[in-house]
Structure 1
Amino acid sequence: MSVVGIANSVVAAGASRASPGRHRRSAPPVCGVRRVAGPTVLHRSVEASASVSLQASSVASGGASGRGASMVAMAGSGRFVVGGNWKCNGNTASISKLVKDLNSGEIHANADVEIICAPPMVYLPKVVSTLDRRFAISAQNCWVGKNGAFTGEVSAEMLTDAGIPWVILGHSERRAMCEESDQMVGIKVAYAISNGLSVMACVGETFDERQAGDTLNVCTRQLRAIVDNISPADWGKVVIAYEPVWAIGTGVVATPAEAQDVHAALRAYVAQAVSPEVASAVRIQYGGSVNPGNCEALAKMEDIDGFLVGGASLSGPDFITICNAAQYNRVRVTQ
């Protein structure tokens, strides 16, 4: 049975076990999943950034109806947060070397940063037992049922039992390859939180969607599925990761201004959909070809509260450099 078929059979029984008090609609169906196109190799500049900027300005200035987005403070509260998504990479030898390099890395005294590493599932026990306590550990996925005939899945309860505090959910690669719908991601986020996990919840648009001026429509649609499934109090366990699909693994990165525009608009959306207080507190990471060469400029943006790093997280020295970019986050430096 496909992931979609399994999810349909679980939603009614499993998703309803999320903690009480969630302001949700009836459990959304997981059928009719839209397959998301993979990253497009870019041969021209991203010409739609002006459209995104205009949309962001409209939302931030109150164009989005609802509670006053103008009350939202720039930057989420708490520490700058950097996640390293190792994806499906590594072997025993390379993981050991990466852990050694991270353990010996120097985090700058001025870099007030929370660091999270997400190794492949099979290496979680090894990394938990050998990685320095400066680094928290995350899984890259989890399921929405405690036990059962879900071959290949790992439940949120299992991660909690194994001492894993974080999980990445909604990554564009899982949305595309595993056909995870917005609704399914929302259910997974709620279930993970109800079982004690903190979540890096990913949203982002494809190149074609950006060119069509749909960046904010896509991202807010994806966020809406999370808003509908968790309570305002749960947002303290959520970090939003904005990952433009067109920038993942392509070497093309959003400019700091482009990333800032989207982050500001996402924060304004959370203000209107949840509350200004939640919007002011929630941290929003940027993920999309972050590297040692661009991390400083990105970190200086007011609404960029951290990074979700892919390929560069496989190099200990590069990842440490990116983590140290927290010292350039001017909002936190001046607080």
Structure 2
Amino acid sequence: MRVPIIAGNWKMNKDVQEAVSFVKQVKDELPPANQLETAIAGPTLCLVPMVKAAGKSPLKIMAENCYYKDDGAYTGETSPYALYQAGIHHVILGHSERRTYFNESDDMINKKVKAALKNGLCPIVCCDDTMGRRVTGKKVHWVVSRILADVHGLTDDEICHVTIAYEPSWAIGTGESADPDQAAEGCYLIRQTISDMYGDNVANDVRILYGGSVTTANINALMEKQDIDGVLVGAASLNPATFLQLVHH
């Protein structure tokens, strides 16, 4: 049984004080983790204070990125080993903003996924399609090739510790969300791809999220879809009250 997850990605927003205040406002208002997982990915500077503020509450604190080396002369990068030692157990990898602004390739993301898993982190691997394919009414196929490349070489056990987020780049930060049927189609294709690679039993264990202009107005329709196991939320996760509305949809 896949436990659904509501995860927020703050991106480069909030300072330490704001982040800690947010955690304190929501941590005691969350459902048990065995019913619904709740998580927030904050800026690196905020992570350790957020972990301390969350304490033993159900709220999980995630990293927004990491490098594929544990240590070394990599100025400005974040070690997956150091993240785990700091109490971080989840990391977002392959977000379209990382691919676009920082030229991260599928090969780079694949290395990061393997490094995260080696260090005990559970990656949330993001993949998308193109607006062009949507406008012409074609099915989503590019998302499948992304998955093949990003999780290449993982074992059955490793892929079961990966969560995949289907995030159409044209829907991120634009206010234009995929409609529930479009979102479900993308998630279904991802699950079928995992099934082709690892078999039905493994594919049924992997959680697949939708992300892209998720709001309190559309979360119910998204969460009702069979192959959507949760959402990765951007702007709507910045406000404590709104985040709790999403959690208690």
* Coarse TM-score class (shorter-chain normalised): over 0.9
User: Structure 1 residue 95: deviation in Å?
Assistant: 1.9
Which residue of the partner structure matches residue 58 of structure 2? 134
Cα offset for 1:297? 1.0
Q: Deviations over 1:103-133 (max 9, x none)?
A: 35354x8x92011111100011110111252
Post-superposition Cα deviations, 1:196-229, rounded to whole Å, max 9, x if no partner, equal 1101110112323433567633211110113323
Equivalent runs, 1:209-220 vs 2, <5 Å: 209-211=133-135, 216-220=140-144
Change (3 A) 1:214 1:154: farther
For residues 215 and 155 of structure 1, the distance between their equivalents in structure 2, rounded to whole angstroms, comes to: 38
Structure 2 equivalent of residue 243 of structure 1: 167
Could you list the per-position Cα deviations for residues 128-170 of structure 1 after superposition, in whole angstroms to 9, with x for gaps in the alignment?
A: 1112521011101111112111000011111111111110000
Q: How does 1:1-335 map to 2 (within 5 A)?
A: 77-107=1-31, 112-132=35-55, 133-211=57-135, 216-325=140-249
Using the alignment, how far apart are the partners of 1:324 and 1:258 within structure 2? 24
- Change in Cα spacing, 1:196 to 1:260, as seen in structure 2 (3 Å) is same
Task: Work out whether residues 227 and 273 of structure 1, in 8 Å CA contact, stay in contact via their aligned partners in 2.
Answer: no
Corresponding residue for residue 66 of structure 1? none
Q: Normalising to structure 1: TM-score of the pair?
A: 0.70
| Number of residue pairs the alignment of both structures matches | 248
> CA offsets per residue over residues 220-276 of structure 1, 9 Å max, x none?
111011332311110121011000111111111111111111111211111112211
Shift of 1:318: 1.0
Deviations 1:69-101 (A, max 9, x none): xxxxxxxx3210111111100123422332232
Higher normalized contact order (CA 8 Å, seq sep 6+, divided by chain length): 1
Change (3 A) 1:88 1:214: farther
Q: Secondary structure at the match of 2:120?
A: coil
Which 4+ runs in 1 deviate beyond 4 A? 212-215
**Which residue identity does 1:92 align to in structure 2?**
V
Structure-2 separation of matches of 1:206 and 1:122:
33
How large is the Cα RMSD of the aligned pairs? 1.9
CA distance in 1, matches of 2:106, 2:136: 20
- 1:266-291: CA deviations, max 9, x gaps? 11111112211111111100101111
Check conservation: 1:205, 1:215, Cα contact below 8 A.
Answer: no
* Paired amino acid for 1:112: Q
> 1:102 and 1:234 mapped to 2: Cα distance?
31
Q: In the aligned structure 2, how far is the partner of 1:230 from the partner of 1:213?
A: 33
AA of the residue aligned to 1:220: V
The verdict on how the C-alpha distance between 1:291 and 1:152 changes in structure 2, with shifts beyond 3 A counting, is same
SS of the residue 2:215 aligns to: coil
Q: Is the 8 A contact 2:215 2:246 kept in 1?
A: yes
Name the larger-Rg structure.
1
SS in 2 for 1:153: coil
User: Matched residue of 2:190: which SS?
Assistant: helix
Which shows bigger deviation, 134-143 or 111-120?
A: 111-120
Structure 1 residue runs without a partner (length 5+): 1-76, 326-335
Label 1:279 to 1:241 Cα distance change in 2 as closer, same or farther (>3 A).
same
- Could you tell me how far apart the structure 1 residues matched to 2:30 and 2:147 are? 35
State the percentage of identical aligned residues: 37
Q: Which amino acid aligns with 2:186?
A: V
Residues 165 and 120 (structure 1), Cα distance of their counterparts in 2 relative to 1, 3 Å cut:
same
When residues 141 and 294 of structure 1 are mapped into structure 2, their CA distance, relative to the original with a 3 A threshold, is: same
Q: Residues 166-209 of structure 1, C-alpha deviation per residue, up to 9 Å, x if partnerless?
A: 10000000000110011111111111101111011101123234
Q: Which has the larger displacement, 263-272 or 208-217? A: 208-217
Give unpaired runs (5+ residues) of structure 2: none
